[in-house]
């Protein structure tokens, strides 16, 4: 499924545009339903966005008491580990915004092996969301076309549950991830891509030089955007 592309001149303007989109989604959801449910991306690219959301004017524009943070995926490490997506988001944003701690729903990676954590997180999502979809899912794009921890040629791509777990050979590590049913049901999906290192995979996907990659199997029912800088879009 093709996304609406938002191409910004550089990393700084990409972060600002994505922060404005995040604030707009949050304010709209809170105005309509009194709550904003968002699943955050891991990796390095979105860190600058999370830091921006914790600064003026963005931080004041969101009623953080109405925000519930989920995670699109997690490495099966302790939340204090340098590889932890939760740790990255906590340091970049959570520690700097007035969000109630009970509104932060990290994957409980210390509570068992990966399949057990996936089941526990599915229960957490169902308890908080009830039958509501996520309002926004933020995703990064891996150089192999993965999103969240939906890696190519894995059974995770065919999961029908809200969450699943998988062993990622190339990283020699277990991951827990939300799945296509969860992502596609969201009211808005943003794939957030920055830097020249992603230009090749972006070009291969947008020219259909490759087929069937995990990001290409996305079929969001709501709004679907790719936010990129010119470097990632190959428009240097």
Q: Which residues bind ligand 6PG (CB under 6 A)?
A: 41-45, 72-73, 85, 140-142, 146-148
CB 133 within 8 A of CB 171: no
In the bound complex, what is the minimum distance in angstroms from residue 30's beta carbon to ligand 6PG?
25
β-sheet bridge partners, residue 73: 177
Q: Which is nearer to ligand 6PG, 64 or 174 (CB)?
A: 174
The Cα–Cα gap between 166 and 174 comes to 6
Q: How many Å apart are CA 106 and CA 220, to the nearest integer?
A: 23
Give the strand order in the sheet containing 73-75.
73-75, 173-178, 163-168
Cβ–Cβ under 8 Å, residues 36 and 25? yes
The CA distance from 226 to 224, in Å, is 7
* C-beta nearest to ligand 6PG: residue: 140
Smallest distance, ligand 6PG to C-beta of residue 187, A: 20
Question: In whole angstroms, how close is the CB of 43 to ligand 6PG at the nearest point?
Answer: 3
Closest distance between ligand 6PG and the C-beta of residue 71, in Å?
8
Closest to ligand 6PG by CB, 129 or 156: 156
Nearer Cβ to ligand 6PG (142/220): 142
Question: Is 43 or 108 the residue whose CB approaches ligand 6PG more closely?
Answer: 43
């Amino acid at each position: 499924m093709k996304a609406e592309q938002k191409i910004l001149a550089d990393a700084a303007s990409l972060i600002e545009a994505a922060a404005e989109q995040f604030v707009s989604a949050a304010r709209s959801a809170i105005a309509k339903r009194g709550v904003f449910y968002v699943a955050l991306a891991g990796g390095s690219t979105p860190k600058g966005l999370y830091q921006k959301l914790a600064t003026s004017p963005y931080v004041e524009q969101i009623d953080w008491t109405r925000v519930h943070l989920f995670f699109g995926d997690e490495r099966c490490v302790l939340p204090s580990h340098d590889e932890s997506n939760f740790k990255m988001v906590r340091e970049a944003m959570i520690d700097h915004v007035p969000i109630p701690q009970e509104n932060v729903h990290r994957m409980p990676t210390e509570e068992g092996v990966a399949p057990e954590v996936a089941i526990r997180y599915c229960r957490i999502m169902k308890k908080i969301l009830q039958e509501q979809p996520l309002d926004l899912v933020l995703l990064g794009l891996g150089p192999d076309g993965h999103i969240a921890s939906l890696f190519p040629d894995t059974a995770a791509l065919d999961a029908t549950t809200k969450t699943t777990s998988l062993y990622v050979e190339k990283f020699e590590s277990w991951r827990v991830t939300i799945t296509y049913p969860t992502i596609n049901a969201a009211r808005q999906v943003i794939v957030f891509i920055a830097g020249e290192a992603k230009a090749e995979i972006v070009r291969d996907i947008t020219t259909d030089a490759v087929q069937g990659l995990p990001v290409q199997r996305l079929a969001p029912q709501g709004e679907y955007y790719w936010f990129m800088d010119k470097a990632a879009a190959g428009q240097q």
